[in-house]
Structure 1
Amino acid sequence: MSVEGKAKEAAGYVKEELYEHGKPPESQKKAQEGRDLRNEGRVEDGKPPKTTKPGTSH
């Protein structure tokens, strides 16, 4: 597990959580950017990307 991968996953998680419940399109776009960054970090660490809907606890 790389430090860079863990950092990307953590940063993506924070960005996703900050903007996930916003109504404006800009918030939804930033939440998606967070998900993408999170998944990029997961892939770098050899984990599968999260593909479930946010907030489903899967």
Structure 2
Amino acid sequence: MSVKGEIKEATGFVKEEMNEHGKSAESKAKAQEGRDLRNEGRVEDGKAPKTTKPGTGHPEK
């Protein structure tokens, strides 16, 4: 695991969580940016990107 990948994943998680329940288009766009950043960090660390809908509680595959 790289430190850079871990930081990207953590930052993306926070950004996604802060904006995922917003109803505005801006909030949804920020949540998507967070998801993208989170997945970028996961790929850098050799993990598969998360593909399930956020907030569903599905385990990773």
TM-score bracket for the superposition, by shorter chain length: over 0.9
Structure 1: gaps (5+ residues): none
With normalisation by structure 2, the TM-score equals 0.94
Partner of 2:13: 13
With normalisation by structure 1, the TM-score equals 0.98
CA distance in 1, matches of 2:32, 2:14: 12
Structure 1 runs of 4+ aligned residues shifted over 2 Å read none
Structure 2: gaps (5+ residues): none
2:56 matches 1:51? no
Root mean square deviation, CA, Å: 0.3
